[in-house]
Copies of this chain bind each other. A is one copy, B any other.
Amino acid sequence: MAAPPNPLRRNEASRRAILDASLQLCAELGYRRLTIEAIAARAGVSKKTIYRWWPSKGAVVLEAVDDVATTVTEHPNTGDLAADLHTQLTAVIGLLTPAETSAAVGLIAEALHDEELARDLRERIIRPRIDEFKERLRQAQRDGQLPADADLDVALDLIYGPLYHRLVFHLGLPGPDELRTLLAHALRAFGPPPR
């Protein structure tokens, strides 16, 4: 692989213009119709500049999403586990809605065919949030809201799984009440409800 370009020389204004253009165009056209050519044109940048810093459309959008997602999805900790999960999942649902023009959904679709992008998506975006999620669950275990022996990986699957199941088949993402019901069931899977 060729040596990567010297990051010191990187033009931050171009980087921002590219990421902004990506999200704008994704919102306007949807991820699928988004093209590198259009990003370059909108950002007032040459295609070469994009390819110098990112290997693919997916990588550009991933970085753009990473920027904006950072603030959106911090796991809250108010002491009430069910309420906090509800808040958190609602934020995630916001990132995935509307599916047609959501950059996040576009990335998920792309990652299904692109091993490398999938790895980046998982490691840079998902994994840190999984870690925060588990940390919050451990807190709940210490608080006695969740059994100490609960399998946190299973919890992750039961709590986040329904979202993606519904997303991929366009079954309609859950509204607030439905979400509450789902969470209640998921938590019940770990034992008798706390006194």
Please give the residue numbers on chain A whose beta carbons come within 8 Å of chain B beta carbons, in ascending order.
30-32, 99-100, 105-106, 108-115, 118-119, 121-122, 126, 151, 154, 156-158, 160-171, 181-182, 185-186, 188-191
Contacts and interface: CB of A to CB of B under 8 A. Distances in A.
B161 A113 contact: no
Contact of A162 (B105, B119, B157): B157
A111 B158 contact: no
Contact of A109 (B112, B156, B158, B190): B112
B154 A181 contact: yes
A144 to B, nearest CB: 19
B106 A169 contact: no
A31 B110 CA distance: 11
A170 B30 contact: no
A30 B100 CA distance: 23
Contact of A169 (B122, B185, B188): B122
Contacts of A122: 169-171
A87 B190 CA distance: 24
Given A151-B185, A154-B185, A158-B162, 10 more contacts: A105-B112, A108-B112, A122-B169, A151-B181, A157-B161, A157-B165, A160-B165, A164-B164, A185-B189, A188-B189
Sorted nearest first, the 9 A-B pairs with minimum C-beta distance are A161-B161, A157-B162, A109-B112, A189-B189, A161-B165, A32-B113, A161-B162, A185-B189, A118-B170
